Structure 1
Amino acid sequence: MSDQQLQHLIKMVNQISANNLHHGDAEQSAEVIATHLRKFWARSMKQKIIDYAESDGLELSTVSRLAVKRLSEPQEA
């Protein structure tokens, strides 16, 4: 995936976060966003944003960073 594609993913997750801040506090919003990413993003997109968040993540908003962290955690059955 190119740097341009990564920039697009960063922009998208930050936009999703901005549009979901009304779900209560940052933790609640992060869970809504992580659920959205699990449902609608391709595995490769999710892995790319997780890798970015773990290596740098500076361009992610605070809520985006929380959501991606939740996305990277194993799902409970």
Structure 2
Amino acid sequence: MANHQLTSLIRMANQIAANNTHIGDENAEAEMVANHLSKFWARSMKAQISEYLNQGGDELTPIARKAIGLMASAG
């Protein structure tokens, strides 16, 4: 994927994380986001965002980082 596609994945992951901050429990929020990404993102999308996290993931929010780590370790 091109760099603009990675930028879109980062933005989407952060938006999904932001939409799940109403729970008030960071672990539960991260699990919900990880579940969403696992269910609805294509394998190539998950692989690219996981690789981005492995390279530092600087632009990801803390919830998105945790969720992607959970997703990657589960699957």
RMSD: 0.9
Percentage of pairs with the same residue: 47
The Cα offsets for residues 22-71 of structure 1, whole Å up to 9 and x where unpaired, read as 12311100000000000000000000000000112000000000000001
Q: Does 1:62 align with 2:62?
A: yes
Runs of 4 or more above 3 Å deviation: none
Aligned residues: 75
- Please give the alpha-carbon distance, in whole angstroms, between the structure 1 residues aligned to 2:74 and 2:28: 18
Gaps of 5+ in 1: none
Gaps of 5+ in 2: none
Mapped to 2, the partners of 1:46 and 1:68 lie a distance apart of: 8
TM-score by length of 2: 0.95
